[in-house]
Structures are given as C-alpha cells and as structure tokens.
C-alpha cells in the first residue's frame, strides 16, 4: 500500500471548482465532452451550443494551475480537435505544443464512407523549451519487445542452456514474424552464452576524440591481437574493461575479424514514444467488470492512460482531471502507485450528471480503494449546482 494522501474528488461544475483549487499540478488531463451532439453519447450531455466558449472559460484557468514543468494531455476527436488546438495555443502558447498522438482503437462510429477508429491525445508542456533544456527524455516500452524477449527466454530454457540450439529455436520462432515486427526489433536475433538476446553494432568511434581507447584486444582463443578500428573504439579504456568483464564484446571465430559491441534487447526495450499507436479500446469492458459500477459511455482506457501518465510524469506527480467522469484517472494513478510505490495524487472534478456519481464513480472508487489501497475523499460543493452551460 502506498502512503499517498487521499485522492480528492470535488463534485460540481469545473467552472466553479477550478478557481478554488491550488496548483501546481504536474499533469492536467482533459477529457471533455467531444460535442458529438448526442450522436454517440446519451448518458451525459455531450453537446455544447458553443463548444469553444465552453472550453475557453475552463482552459483559461489552466496556466495558473500548471507547474512550470507541467504537462497537459487532452483527449479529443476529429470534431473539435482544431478548435481545441487553437484554444490551447492561446492559453498555453503555440510554442509549447509537444504533439498530437493518434490512438487507433476499435471502431467508434461507422458510416457509409469512413469508419472512424481513432481519436487523439493532444499534448502541451507548460514550458517546452525548458523541458527540452532539462534533458528530459520520454520513454515507453517498445511495442512487442516483451513478446520477443519472452520467446528468447523460452528458447533458452527449452534448449537447456545450449547457446547454438537456443539461437536456432529462437530464429525459427522469429522467421515467420520478421515481416510484421519492426526491424528495430528483429535485428535482435542472437542469443549469447548467458541466454541474453542481442544484436551486434559497430565498435568504432565515429570521430577521433581524446580519451577513446586504441588498445588492441587479444582474441580469447588464439591469443593474438584483433584489428583496432581506425579512429579507435567507441569507449575509453575503463569502459572497455567493463564491457569485456560483462561479456558485452563479441569476438569473431579468430583474431582476423574486428570484435563487435553487443546490444542487449533487455537494455533497449524502451524507446521514445511514437505518435501513432494501435490498441483495442477496453475502457467499457473494464468498467463492466467492476462490481456495482453502472454503465458510462466511453470511459477512457486505463492501460492507455497509465502508459501516457507514466511516460510524462514522475511517481509523485500531482494530477488534475477537471472532467473526471467515471473516474478512470483516479484508478490509473492508484494502479501506477501500487505498481511502483509512487505517491501520485489526483484531484478530480465530477459533474453529477445523469446519476454518474452514485451509479458509476462512487462504486468504482470504492472498488479501487479495496484493490489498490489508496484512499479517496469526495466532497460536494454547496455552491456548485451542476450547470453545464459555459
């Protein structure tokens, strides 16, 4: 159980509640009504006469609440993304636009001309230049890396630790998948004497630099020295010693070939996230599995939010969700806290529309408290009648 302060849910119109909040928040997640005009959503009022005005009044409050290193992620679809971008450019600054992520999930609405299956995560930083200057690097698990590593581990164990046999088995598994897996993954097709999946890379320094090692290496079988790259090795003598000790240098069959560097997939299983990903939408199915929770139209997918929240924030992040809906954001924070011992804390604002709080949000949060151990406090704002107009 993590020791985070209780997550806090404020009931009411976020227009009334936002001015009462104190920041700074490290992440503000926005999942506003998509304004489908009731074509898709029926349980809460998804339509706004003037969506931009409705949103502008709320987005105007974000800069005050966002930490200087903060991030805003907004879910939206094609209907309002262009308006949302203009509004976020206005309130957060066009220079702070990080990018638009396209989530290709299951079909949302079918039509005779185009079956729409995607929506977006629009990402802004409070100060993109400062974020970049700080050396921050976002990383995510490379899609399929886990599956490839598991196949290599399986080949290693079924081959009883015989390196050549394990490599043969692994390559037999890989062969029919080479065409569909990314090349960056299929390059990892060698298994070493410790069962590690790796590829080899050029050991030579790209340019002549002080400190690079030029030391000749003796071949482990013939004892004779191997060729040294023209501009020296990529590393200095001390790093070369560490790599030799860790078995990260691959020698050829004799001293006539230049040794190569080994790159382990296990060390490279993450990468900078890509702007398009495909993942089936599981939000509704997941919500239906929670005891006592009623239906809610298009709850966000907890796995997807968990991946992006984890990517852009630290484990003690303060998170604000002004459109809490069925409470996915709180479940995600609890789940991440339980996984990594973090102390993420969510403040959510929920409009009690159509019985959502009693029928969906409260039972879901009760369930999550029991499963993950974090606590939630829920307070009703006297002044905040559930008005939905801007």
Peptide bond into 24 cis (omega under 30): yes
Residue from 233, 308, 309, 323 in contact with ligand SAM (CB under 6 A): 323
Residue found under tokens 């600054």:
93
- Minimum CB separation of residue 298 from ligand SAM in Å reads 6
Window contacting ligand SAM (CB under 6 A); options: 2-10, 28-36, 227-235, 274-282: 28-36
- Minimum CB separation of residue 54 from ligand SAM in Å reads 8
Size of the site for ligand SAM (CB under 6 A): 19
- Minimum CB separation of residue 271 from ligand SAM in Å reads 27
Of 70-129, binders to ligand SAM (CB under 6 A) are: none
* Helix 145-158 vs helix 163-174: crossing angle, to nearest 10: 140
Are the C-beta atoms of residues 324 and 330 closer than 8 Å to each other? yes
Of 254-313, binders to ligand SAM (CB under 6 A) are: 296, 299-300
Are the C-beta atoms of residues 231 and 205 closer than 8 Å to each other? yes
**Nearer of residues 120 and 296 to ligand SAM, judged by Cβ:** 296
Burial of 354 (0-12, 13-18, 19+ CB in 10 A): middle
Ramachandran region, residue 160 (left: φ > 0; alpha: ψ -120 to 50; beta: rest) = left
**Nearer of residues 189 and 331 to ligand SAM, judged by Cβ:** 331
Residue from 26, 31, 127, 374 in contact with ligand SAM (CB under 6 A): 31
- Minimum CB separation of residue 45 from ligand SAM in Å reads 7
How many alpha carbons fall within 13 Å on the CB side of residue 156? 15
**Nearer of residues 81 and 151 to ligand SAM, judged by Cβ:** 81
192 CB contacts (<8 Å, ≥6 apart)? 163, 198, 247, 250, 262
Backbone phi, psi, residue 197, to 5°: -85, 130
146 CB contacts (<8 Å, ≥6 apart)? 269
Are the C-beta atoms of residues 329 and 305 closer than 8 Å to each other? yes
Window contacting ligand SAM (CB under 6 A); options: 90-98, 121-129, 169-177, 349-357: 349-357
353 binds ligand SAM (CB under 6 A): yes
Of 324-343, binders to ligand SAM (CB under 6 A) are: 325-326, 328
66 binds ligand SAM (CB under 6 A): no
Supply the DSSP string of 231-295, one letter for each residue. Answer: T-BSS-HHHHHHHHHTT-EE--SSTTSPPEEEEEGGGG-EEPPPSEEE----HHHHHHTSTT---
348 binds ligand SAM (CB under 6 A): no
**Nearer of residues 61 and 356 to ligand SAM, judged by Cβ:** 356
3-state SS assignment for residue 333: helix
- Minimum CB separation of residue 388 from ligand SAM in Å reads 5
351 binds ligand SAM (CB under 6 A): yes
Cα(37)–Cα(83) distance, integer angstroms: 16
- Minimum CB separation of residue 16 from ligand SAM in Å reads 8
**Nearer of residues 79 and 219 to ligand SAM, judged by Cβ:** 79
**Nearer of residues 166 and 304 to ligand SAM, judged by Cβ:** 304
Cα(355)–Cα(42) distance, integer angstroms: 13
Window contacting ligand SAM (CB under 6 A); options: 20-28, 106-114, 215-223, 348-356: 348-356
Residue from 191, 349, 357, 376 in contact with ligand SAM (CB under 6 A): 349
319 binds ligand SAM (CB under 6 A): no
* Helix 362-372 vs helix 328-340: crossing angle, to nearest 10: 0
Binding mask 1-20 for ligand SAM (x = CB under 6 A): ------------xxx-----
- Structure tokens given for 6: 């209780």
Residue in the shown chain whose Cβ atom is closest to ligand SAM: 325
Residues that bind ligand SAM (CB under 6 A): 13-15, 31-33, 44, 296, 299-300, 323, 325-326, 328, 349, 351, 353, 356, 388
């Amino acid at each position: 159980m993590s020791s985070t302060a209780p997550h806090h849910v404020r009931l009411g119109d976020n227009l009334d509640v936002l001015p009462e909040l104190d920041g700074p928040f490290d992440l503000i997640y926005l999942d506003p009504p998509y304004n489908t005009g009731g074509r898709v959503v029926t349980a809460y009022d998804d339509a706004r006469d003037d969506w931009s005005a409705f949103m502008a009044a709320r987005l105007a409050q974000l800069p005050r609440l966002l930490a200087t290193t903060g991030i805003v992620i907004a879910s939206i679809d094609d209907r309002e993304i262009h308006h949302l971008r203009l509004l976020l450019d206005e309130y957060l600054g066009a220079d702070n636009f990080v990018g638009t992520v396209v989530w290709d999930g299951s079909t949302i609405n079918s039509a005779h001309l185009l079956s729409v299956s995607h929506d977006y995560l629009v990402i802004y930083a409070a100060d993109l230049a400062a974020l970049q200057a700080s050396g921050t690097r976002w990383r995510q698990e490379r899609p399929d890396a886990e599956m490839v590593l598991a196949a290599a581990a399986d080949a290693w164990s079924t081959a009883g630790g015989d390196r050549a046999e394990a490599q043969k088995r692994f390559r037999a598994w890989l062969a029919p998948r080479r065409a569909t897996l990314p090349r960056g993954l299929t390059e990892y097709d060698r298994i070493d004497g410790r069962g590690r999946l790796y590829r080899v890379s050029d050991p030579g320094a790209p340019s002549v630099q002080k400190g690079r090692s030029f030391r000749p290496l003796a071949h482990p079988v013939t004892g004779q020295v191997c060729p040294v790259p023209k501009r020296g090795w990529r590393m200095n003598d001390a790093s070369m010693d560490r790599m030799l000790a860790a078995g990260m240098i691959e020698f050829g069959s004799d001293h006539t070939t230049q040794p190569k560097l080994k790159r382990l997939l296990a060390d490279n299983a993450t990468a900078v996230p890509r702007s398009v990903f495909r993942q089936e939408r599981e939000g509704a199915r997941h919500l239906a599995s929670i005891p006592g929770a009623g239906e809610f139209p298009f709850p966000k997918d907890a796995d997807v939010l968990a991946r992006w929240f984890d990517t852009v924030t630290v484990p003690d992040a303060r998170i604000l969700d002004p459109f809490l809906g069925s409470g996915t954001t709180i479940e995600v924070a609890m789940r991440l806290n339980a996984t990594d011992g973090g102390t993420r804390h969510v403040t959510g604002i929920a409009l009690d529309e159509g019985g959502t709080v009693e029928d969906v949000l409260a039972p879901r949060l009760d369930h999550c408290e029991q499963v993950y151990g974090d606590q939630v406090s829920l307070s009703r704002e006297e002044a905040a009648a559930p008005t939905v107009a801007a």
